[in-house]
Amino acid sequence: NSASDSGIGARGLWSSKFAFILAATGSAVGLGNVWKFPYVTGENGGGAFVLVYLLCIFIIGIPIMMAEVFIGRNGRHNPITSFRLVAERNLASSGWRISAIVGMLAAFIILSFYSVIGGWAASYVGHAAMGDFTGGTAESVGEMFGGLLASPAKLLLWHTVFMALVVLVVARGLKGGLERAVTILMPALFILLLMVVGYATTTGHFGEAVSFLFNPDFSALTVNGVLVALGHAFFTLSLGMAIMMAYGSYLSRDVSIGRTAVAVAIMDTVVALLAGLAIFPVVFANGLEAGAGPGLIFQTLPLAFGNMPMGTLFGTLFFVLLLFAAWTSGISLLEPVVEWVEEKTSFARVGSAVIAGGACWLLGIASILSLNVWADVAPLGMFAAFEGKTIFDLLDYFTANIMLPLSGLLTAIFVGWFVAKESLKSDLALQEGTFGLWYNLIRFVTPIAVAIVFVYNLLA
Ligand code: PHE
Ligand code: NA
């Protein structure tokens, strides 16, 4: 099989299957696990939501991840070119590459505001380490967060720091950049998480958190909760953004796509559950609201850390963890775009990374201003559905609710219905029965489920 890998010489490959798993897990594990999963679980009643979410990971997330990695490895180019090549090989229309175009555009847009939020994490590492949370009140932590959001200068500084960290790694290429970063950051992240969970067990409210996460109360589950679970399964595995295609393009032919995808999904889920076990005991111990929403991490937790023994130490560890998680995800958002610029222009790796990262940084400024100076600017305010939505809100809305599901849906349909079954079979390298299960999922279940969420989101 190495014959088919020989043509890729100059692009390079991950040095091992584990490097790929770490990088893909690094992409998957992010703000979605540490920030979003705990609060959507809190908002949707806990255990029953977690069960539905796990189901979505298995019937939608993992099948699409396999399809994306397949396209990347089969095409061995940037996501758009890979898609075209796979289509041509299967005598399908090269127009299917619209899926990768939408995905890459989404990655570019998402990175622009993901970097702003990554910047919040970076700034909170500083606050935590300086002991700024100590003795804090609801009012003081609220002011700290409000003060950050109200200041374009502070936000710009931290957005710039975060984007620079991302560009720095991507510019150094696959082995010296991405691979090296994830082999340091991912184990560090895991250890930090275990330390914070260990700390959470000392709060006296660990059992409460366990039952909150694992005792399903189906009466608390709503239709909307099911759709949120489905959408989150997509986001948390970094699907619909051409990321797994880009990462798959560097994957050796000897590796089973099926088994690695399952490993990545399991690690992502374990981290999300551990994050829940790290956060909820602290929330309950302080009588905080589990369904506090997006502010949970930046407002409620600092309050808790500020009033607990060793809160400065564990608060700092927590925000370093958050920063590392966001960093490896940011890297993965830039990679497909850089791979594309590198192949399509005469710029080398470094130039491509600086150009793509710089453009993203520039777009990020619009999100920064949306939080303060442009807080009342609603560009699509003339449509009732977008009333009061800032530029930041709109970028988030269009990527999460339209671009990602659209890209994922097209990928599922293309791979399920237009790619030769034999080529899928040999590339995924699954056992006969497992392959049959995946094939039915990607042809029927996955597209229908994604289409339902897509339409629902459009109407809602
Ligand atoms: N999967 C990441 C998370 O759970 C989010 C993300 C989305 C990362 C898109 C990269 C790209 O936070
Ligand atoms: Na995730």
Q: What is the ipTM of this complex?
A: 0.97
Predicted TM-score of the model (pTM): 0.93
Ligand 1 pocket check for 312: Cβ under 6 Å = no
DSSP-assigned letter for residue 10: G
Q: Is the pLDDT of residue 2 over 60?
A: no
pLDDT at 151: 97
- Cα(356)–Cα(173) distance, integer angstroms: 14
Neighbours of 93 (CB within 10 A): 12
pLDDT at 372: 95
Instruction: From residue 88, give the alpha-carbon distance in Å to each of 92, 101, 143, 245, 349.
Output: 6, 17, 56, 17, 28
Query: Lowest-confidence range among 83-97, 130-144, 168-182?
Result: 130-144
Ligand 1 pocket check for 367: Cβ under 6 Å = no
Q: Ligand 2 centre and the CA of 330: distance in Å?
A: 12
DSSP-assigned letter for residue 111: H
Residue type, 396: D
Q: Ligand 2 centre and the CA of 429: distance in Å?
A: 25
Q: Which CATH class is domain 2-459?
A: mainly alpha
pLDDT at 367: 96
Instruction: Compute the average pLDDT of residues 246-252.
Output: 97
Return the ∠ at Cα 238 (arms to 235 and 239), rounded to 5°: 85
- Cα(453)–Cα(381) distance, integer angstroms: 24
Q: Is the pLDDT of residue 3 over 70?
A: no
Ligand 1 pocket check for 112: Cβ under 6 Å = no
Local structure of 350: helix, strand or coil: helix
- Cα(163)–Cα(112) distance, integer angstroms: 9
